[in-house]
Amino acid sequence: MHLKGFEFIMKHFYKIMVVCLCMAMLVPAVGCGSKKEQEGIQDGQAVDMKELREAMLAADTTLPEMKVSTSEDEKGELNFTVFSDFDYERVQSYFYAYAAKGGPQEIAVVELKEAGDAAALMNTLQDHIEMREGALGEYAPDQLAMVEHAVIKQYGRYVAMIIAEKSGLVQQACGDMM
């Protein structure tokens, strides 16, 4: 009887060991996948900036006529400095849309060469927003709330800045394209 109990334990011991080994191999896989992948951006995956711009601008039907500047423009590098003093050499591409008649509305998306530069870029965008808050506080306090609710969001190598009445819809459109 003692020998049968030992065989029973050994038979189940191997099954338990197999299950434990399988679990041990699966547990590390659960943590795989970067935050970029969770946001929808894969390494090296490019987003069509023109399609992204069109989708974001169409998302908020209250936007006034918007002028657009892009990295493709002849003065793209110079125009970039309107909303950021980030090192342009670290930028892959961008678009910047702003109210044609001087309202607070602005939408920008910057594609970086390296995702690790996003925090530095986001800081310069925050500085831009704070500067806009100061200016609007002086000459258009009725529009200040829109700037105070501005959104800056990272999607892997992409960073979006949104100043719009319906910034949530614009952000959703951006996220859908990522």
User: Quick one: average pLDDT of 116-135?
Assistant: 95
Judge contact between 178 and 155, C-beta under 8 A. Answer: yes
Residue 83 has pLDDT above 70, yes or no: yes
Taking the domains of the chain in order of start, what are their residue ranges?
Answer: 2-32, 37-177
The two three-digit tokens of residue 168, written as one number: 């949530």
Task: Write out pLDDT tens, residues 136-147.
Answer: 877 787 888 899
Q: Provide the pairing of β-strand 151-155 with 91-99.
A: unpaired
pTM, full prediction: 0.75
Task: Write out pLDDT tens, residues 7-52.
Answer: 655 565 555 555 444 455 544 444 443 343 334 455 557 899 999 9
Q: Which residue has the higher pLDDT, 84 or 31?
A: 84
Helix residue ranges, H only, the chain: 2-30, 35-39, 49-59, 76-80, 118-139, 144-148, 167-177
- Residue 98: strand pairing partners: 67, 106
The two three-digit tokens of residue 94, written as one number: 């961008």
User: Quick one: average pLDDT of 107-136?
Assistant: 95
Residue 65 has pLDDT above 50, yes or no: yes
> Which pLDDT score, from 0 to 100, does residue 140 have?
80
Residue 102 Rama label (left phi>0; alpha psi -120 to 50; beta) = left
Residue 70 has pLDDT above 90, yes or no: yes
> Which pLDDT score, from 0 to 100, does residue 22 have?
46
